[in-house]
Amino acid sequence: MTLWNGSYPFYPGANACFPFDTTRAVIVTVFLSMLATSIVILPGIPGRRRLLWFLRLVLGLFVGAVILNVQFTRDWESGWVQANTSYKSFSPVQVSADIGLHIGLAGVNVTLRGNPVEQINETINYNEHFPWSFGADYDHSYNQGLQKGLPSPILYVAEKFSWQSPCGVCRQYRIAGHYVSLTLWLAFCTWLISILLFSMSILLYGGQMLLLTGTLILSSLLLFSTVRNTLRCPIQFGPVALRTDYGESFWLALATGLLCLLLGLAIIILNSVQPQKLKLIFSVDKSNEEEQWDKSWLPAQPSCSAQGGFMVPLGELCPGTATQL
């Protein structure tokens, strides 16, 4: 049953897309500002140390930005499917749409995009977020979606993650997300400690903390992957099924964890095999140059006119050199 202009009763207009994630923008802006500020002092670093210092700066900020950023992303696991499905409940009208599922550490996003976007006199472009983090009630968000009259594909996918669902997906993903988030926060703390140790020229301990950072990141990925591999809850749209795979955040965290692991091992090995090269890379092998610079300003031998820090008679300074007037 339709009303004027072919619109369905009891349903509001098409919901706007999910707003832009400002958290990621703030994190990226902060780290880019730190990078730009550090580049200002780059011309004051002499010679080859300039390139090494810039490389260390970029790698350090990259690792910190990734660890902090993947905490708030919603694409640890994602999947898309194109299907012909009903658009509203109690209506036989079907639409052609792309349906997406994006799972993060704090909730799930369900995307519905018409193909084409304009169909049945409506703009079909939805992206709804259903959180399960601390202080958030997933079932309450799902019930709000029912009250708003969200499209049937979104409600069908969101129902799979509800607490009443026999799949038990929400409980497992929620617990895994909490542990993964905690492990990543520990990795961020160890990264900060490693940066502090490197700035204090304590290279061995800095490499060990960087190695621990990589281990924690890889451990968080292992926690997430084990939960994902134990779930079997098909999301079917007629003859096609919505299947998910690891998303961009997972692969980015994996690359960062391996990078930290390799850099930490390299620093530890260089410190035991060739410590001078390691000091050269971190620009801390300057003790000899400073000693030579300081010695160049010291007098070679004390003069015969100043011995012991007090004045002596001229006839006693250098025997045999005084003449009788």
With respect to residue 287, please indicate whether it lies within any of the assigned structural domains: no
* Domain match, 101 and 194 both: no
**Percentage above 70 pLDDT, the chain:** 79
Reduced to 3 states (helix: H, G, I; strand: E, B; else coil), residue 239 is: coil
What per-residue confidence (pLDDT) applies to 294? 43
Q: What domain range is 271 assigned to?
A: 22-74+177-230+249-280
With respect to residue 239, please indicate whether it lies within any of the assigned structural domains: no
How many structural domains comprise the chain? 2
Pairwise CA distance, residues 191 & 195, whole Å: 6
Q: What's the rounded mean pLDDT across residues 45-50? A: 74
What value, to the nearest 5°, has the Cα angle with vertex 90 and ends 88 and 91? Answer: 60
Phi, psi angle pair for 29, to nearest 5°: -65, -40
With respect to residue 161, please indicate whether it lies within any of the assigned structural domains: yes
Last residue of a domain, one of 125, 155, 170: 170
Res 215 pLDDT > 90: yes
Last residue of a domain, one of 150, 170, 190: 170
With respect to residue 144, please indicate whether it lies within any of the assigned structural domains: yes
Question: Could you tell me the pTM of the whole model?
Answer: 0.77
* Domain match, 185 and 55 both: yes
* Domain match, 184 and 224 both: yes
Long-range contacts (CB closer than 8 Å, 24 or more residues apart) made by 137-146: 138/107, 138/162, 138/163, 138/170, 138/174, 139/163, 139/164
* Domain match, 125 and 53 both: no
* Domain match, 63 and 82 both: no
pLDDT band of residue 20 (cuts 50, 70, 90) is low
With respect to residue 5, please indicate whether it lies within any of the assigned structural domains: no
Q: Compute the mean pLDDT over every residue in the chain, rounded to the nearest whole number.
A: 79
Convert 150-167 to b/e letters by CB count within 10 Å (16 or more is b).
bbbbbbbbbebbbeeeeb
Query: Which residue type, as a one-letter code, is found at position 47?
Result: G
Reduced to 3 states (helix: H, G, I; strand: E, B; else coil), residue 285 is: coil
CA 138 to chain centre: 25
* Domain match, 66 and 155 both: no
What per-residue confidence (pLDDT) applies to 229? 64
* Domain match, 92 and 185 both: no
With respect to residue 91, please indicate whether it lies within any of the assigned structural domains: yes
Condensed to tens digits (0 to 9), the pLDDT of residues 164-214 reads 877 778 788 888 889 999 999 999 999 999 999 998 888 999 999 999 999
Condensed to tens digits (0 to 9), the pLDDT of residues 108-137 reads 999 999 888 888 888 888 899 998 887 778
Reduced to 3 states (helix: H, G, I; strand: E, B; else coil), residue 127 is: strand
Whether the Cβ atoms of residue 256 and residue 67 lie closer than 8 Å to each other:
yes
What per-residue confidence (pLDDT) applies to 305? 42
Pairwise CA distance, residues 151 & 197, whole Å: 53
Condensed to tens digits (0 to 9), the pLDDT of residues 276-324 reads 888 887 877 554 444 333 444 444 444 444 444 444 454 444 454 444 4
pLDDT band of residue 48 (cuts 50, 70, 90) is confident
Considering only 15-24, 84-93, 125-134, 279-288, which range has the smallest mean pLDDT? 15-24
* Domain match, 53 and 200 both: yes
What per-residue confidence (pLDDT) applies to 256? 95
Handedness of CA 272, 275, 281, 284 (dihedral sign): positive
With respect to residue 2, please indicate whether it lies within any of the assigned structural domains: no
* Domain match, 105 and 46 both: no
With respect to residue 97, please indicate whether it lies within any of the assigned structural domains: yes
* Domain match, 125 and 204 both: no
Res 16 pLDDT > 50: no
